[in-house]
Structure 1
């Protein structure tokens, strides 16, 4: 008869408070966020409805219907990144995501740069989403979208999201779940309806280049259309930004991240594919003669009333997206401030005793985008250069974590959280880094319009942020003013295993 292992030899997992204590922190938040709510937060941040609507015409003009395959390609690449993040957050389920992960995997200065780039990318993204959402609100109420109206609506969306966030984690979770429902209706529901009942194109159209590329071949047009996927698949990391408000985060957040990628990818495919197949004037869209084709597609397929109902769904999704972005940005600022790494850190690190949210960090996450919106109102031409570096900045921050994780693995780190890839961890990590370098190349590659600013604006924007961050880092030396732990991935993993008894269980076998 085989001997059954005793209960003492079975590895156990730390409780939430105990796990946080091993990492050097105490519980300060209400852990009222479930797996479903955490997934909803990441999904509404990723927001396939917002992404597809914003990129549909651009993708078709550059790469035609085959640009839809970038959703599959980038989705697979970002799934690899989410697996790496899952192992990291499972060992480090603490607020702030990118910043504390980079610090614990590498060091304070390295983490400073990752977080500096990331926080500016997030703040600019908050601004951009609110600006795009203003057009939907104006359309719903038949308002002429003048610069003044656009500014007023943008500021209103920012303020509304702030009020929801200020109300506490439970309100954040509820609104995120409502936004999730709106997203699923707006992308999967509408996409299926268009595919089944309003199809005007054959499925073979997704393999039809429609003459794009010309004599130079289609490859350059296809790679140019990579924006269709690259601009869409981020937001899953927000699941980890609120780790200290999630019950059982070491298990649930990795699941929520992967769910965000998988469900977001399927949703985006349904939405993008549905619009293409239902487009009555696809050739005109590909030719660039219809720069905003989705309203016309909706009007032709849903009628005036149906189009208005879709606008309500879309506005709900935009509000939820701004809400999730604000929440993630405020938690990153809080995490940064808690370690004394930013000016005004004592003020930014305060948590409301009543609502258990970092209220001052939330004020910053609302106010700075509002200021950028006013600047854009004064000069509308600044919108593109202000937002162009955002996605590249996010990918840079992502890959700084992926690189740091791979560096720790070469030193012998074996992730100690309940979510682990085991022997596949190194392979997945290498593939995620390779994908990330490829994605950053596609995003940073200068254009060929002949105008210097237009062609290099992405790198110019990123360069300004990086240089300003380096100047502050080496002049103010925030890393010297903080005693936050750094580069301790191996030591923490050993401490967790010692606390849980997992090492003894492995030795017993």
Structure 2
């Protein structure tokens, strides 16, 4: 799907100067190809997503729920292609906020930016909470509780914030190591589980098609107005995991040749995560033993690994999982910081005078890092003592990206014939099939969130949107309406589009 300059309007070079978009280069541009891929892959983090949600899927859909995974991967891959097409045209930090602001209008762009912020703030807590609630209790042999999970999660967020605040270079080094470890660890995990399970004759093919404790009658039903059918609910396994690939676009101003590198990083991360994640799910389900009994465990994945591979090998691989989850949370926090900084640079975020500063010593938005850190700790405090905290967190962290993806794909559909020229990636003749598949998938995904179990997630969204709406009204009144929050260089982009349209007419 990548076309060169002899194809359909892709410029011969992917070098981008942020002055084209009305900015000056403030962040250091040093992120290479692997680092960009690692950022997208770390955010997706199959280790994090599967360890977090596998137990919930066993309870809601049974083992057969894993067959929804390929559907999610295909759908999200189509979304990643569309995001890549936009990132190749507007490779600026802020991703969907920038795209919506410049291609639609700044008010819609601000709403998109605020929703993205609420997503990143909640998902960093959801991810880090996984370490404390589902992995460490098995790894260190202690009884997990809401209280100790709160303390451990808070400490993990502190470590991540320190790295992000003081060194992007070291943040990327830690992430590159963690992603390499996750890739190697997950491949080893799949092979070892398969080989040992085969030798021990523990592989149970019947588990792959079992509904467990979930009744088989009405299993494939779409449900009612406020209830989703069991199989459809299983889609959440992939929907929570295969998200965040767009984080690579949020570091566009720090990436070398972003118009070429970022789109590839996004779709490659989705593809790699999808294939490796599905193989892992198949093997774990084959070795689940009694899926009804396993569904009652708070740490089902860890239980399977320890039972099949023994305490020594199992412990070593669980350490790799902890490293992967830590990197995932770190990348999410960094992405949230970059979004706050991008919106503050445009004077769109509450307290922007402080958050837009870049430390001359560290070359990072240290003040914005402090803000995201505090917000994450506050969200953790709200959810931490709930008995179903993990489900509440991942429910909200699944709903919000679905909204963001749907709005961005709709933007692309409306504006696709008047987009700025691509500088490195184009959908070409595959554009229509990609759009259709992405749209069908996103409509299907959004229908899941009508289920009553997402009430808490909707409350969180409503509260955050309400806070954002109050500030948006204040911003519009203070700036004298929508015209007062025009994006930098917006008029030059409009002029470029008008000139392209005139050329087409001629």
Do Structure 1 and Structure 2 share a fold, with TM-score over 0.5? yes
**Residue 49 to residue 14, structure 1, CA distance change in 2 (3 Å):** closer
- The counterpart of 2:364, out of the listed 357, 368, 375, is 357
Instruction: Indicate the residue corresponding to 1:484 in structure 2.
Output: 487
* Secondary structure class of the residue paired with 1:280: coil
Q: Distance in 2 between matches of 1:240 and 1:12?
A: 20
Equivalent residue for 2:32?
A: 34
Query: What does 1:451-470 correspond to in 2, within 5 Å?
Result: 454=453, 456-470=455-469
Query: 5+ residue gaps in structure 1?
Result: 448-453
Aligned partner of 1:418 in structure 2 is 424
Distance 2:283 2:69 in 1: 14
Tell whether 2:438 aligns with 1:432: yes
TM-score (norm 2): 0.87
Aligned with 2:286 (options 260, 277, 288): 277
1:438 and 1:90 map into 2 onto residues whose CA distance is 27
Give the secondary-structure state (helix, strand or coil) at the position aligned to 2:244: coil
1:131-170 aligned within 5 A:
131-135=129-133, 136-170=135-169
Deviation of 1:148 after TM superposition, in Å, equals 4.2
- 1:46, distance to aligned residue in structure 2 (A): 0.7
Spell out, residue by residue over 1:337-366, the C-alpha distance to the aligned partner (whole angstroms, 9 max, x if none): 011101211211111112211111111121
Distance in 1 (CA, whole Å) between partners of 2:203 and 2:159 is: 40
CA distance in 2, matches of 1:462, 1:24: 32
Equivalent residue, structure 1, for 2:450: 445
Q: Can you list the C-alpha shifts for 1:40-86, whole angstroms capped at 9, x where unaligned? A: 11111111001111111221232223222221101100111111111
Task: Specify the alignment match of 1:403 in structure 2.
Answer: 410
8 Å CA contact 1:57–1:292 kept in 2: the answer is yes
What is the TM-score when the length of structure 1 is the normalising length?
A: 0.87
Which residue number corresponds to residue 298 of structure 1? 305
Match of 2:226 in 1: none
Provide, for residues 378-414 of structure 1, a one-character-per-residue CA deviation record: whole Å limited to 9, x for no partner: 655666545532211111112211111111125x336
Q: 1:203 offset after TM fit, Å?
A: 4.0
Q: Secondary structure at the match of 2:332?
A: helix
Which residue among 216, 219, 226 is the counterpart of 2:218? Answer: 216
Query: Which residue is 2:170 aligned to?
Result: 171
Gaps of 5+ in 2: 222-228
Are the structure 2 counterparts of residues 124 and 30 from structure 1 closer, same or farther at C-alpha, using a change threshold of 3 Å?
A: same
**Displacement of 1:138:** 4.7
Alignment of 1:51-70 (within 5 A): 51-70=49-68
C-alpha separation between the residues in 1 aligned to 2:277 and 2:436?
A: 27
Which whole-Å CA distance do the structure 2 matches of 1:487 and 1:62 have between them? Answer: 51
- 1:141 Cα offset (Å): 3.6
**Per the alignment, do residues 152 and 207 of structure 1 end up closer, same or farther by CA in structure 2, a change over 3 Å counting?**
closer
RMSD: 2.9
What secondary structure is seen at the aligned counterpart in 1 of 2:241?
coil
Alignment equivalent of 1:82, drawn from 50, 59, 80: 80
1:324 equivalent to 2:331? Answer yes
> Taking structure 1 as reference, are residues 414 and 213 closer, same or farther at Cα in structure 2, changes over 3 Å only?
farther
Q: Deviations over 1:119-148 (max 9, x none)?
A: 111101111112221233454344443444
Report deviation, 1:306: 1.8
Q: Distance in 2 between matches of 1:211 and 1:343?
A: 48
Matched with 1:108 is 106
Q: How many residues align?
A: 483
In the TM superposition, what whole-angstrom CA distance separates every residue of 1:240-266 from its partner, at most 9, and x where no partner exists? 011011000000000000111001111
Q: Does 1:254 align with 2:260?
A: no
Q: Quote the Cα distance in structure 1 between the aligned partners of 2:74 and 2:88.
A: 21
Question: Are 1:67 and 1:222, in contact at CA under 8 Å, matched by a contact in 2?
Answer: yes
Distance in 2 of aligned mates of 1:389 and 1:403: 22
